[in-house]
Structure 1
Amino acid sequence: MSQATLQVTGMTCGHCVETVSKAVSSLNGVNKVDVSLEQKEVKVDFDEGQTALTEIKAKIVDAGYEVGSG
């Protein structure tokens, strides 16, 4: 099991938080998603055997947000 914390910009409200959470949760191997609007970050617990960090980042970008280098 792996854990990553990603800096995400573009989130401005609770709907944004819900959108990002649902998008990341839809990936196979993602066990937990914690989205913080205040800290503009997404913490993800995932199984690298089922999904890669690059896939998680791509899903966030596809949802309309930007992922920082953090």
Structure 2
Amino acid sequence: MNTSTYTVVGMTCGHCVNSVTEEVTQVPGISDVDVDLATGGLTVSSDAEIDDAAIRAAVEEAGYSVASR
């Protein structure tokens, strides 16, 4: 199992969390998504290699951005 963490910028409510969760869940291969509104934390898990660009694109599709590491 591969796991990656990101920080999502701009979330302010439960609807924001739902939007990010919905978009990231659609990324092929992602098996688990956990979004923490308080910290902006996004943790994704997959049995395969995690495509960072696809995760970032999904977050942007939801209307938010991923903080630079």
TM-based fold match above 0.5? yes
What's the Cα RMSD here?
Answer: 1.1
The yes-or-no answer on 1:68 pairing with 2:67 is: yes
TM-score by length of 2: 0.90
Q: Does 1:37 align with 2:33?
A: no
Q: In the TM superposition, what whole-angstrom CA distance separates every residue of 1:40-60 from its partner, at most 9, and x where no partner exists?
A: 110000221xx5111111110
Amino acid of the structure 2 residue aligned with 1:32: D
Q: CA deviation at 1:21?
A: 0.3
Q: Which runs of no fewer than 5 residues in structure 1 stay unpaired?
A: none
Alpha-carbon distance, 1:2 to partner: 1.6
- In 1, Cα distance between the equivalents of 2:68 and 2:2? 18
Structure 2 residue runs without a partner (length 5+): none
Residue in structure 2 matched with residue 55 of structure 1 by the alignment: 54
The structure 1 segments of at least 4 consecutive aligned residues displaced by more than 3 Å after TM superposition are none
Q: Secondary structure at the match of 2:44?
A: strand
TM-score with structure 1 length normalisation?
0.89
Q: Work out the number of aligned pairs and report it.
A: 68
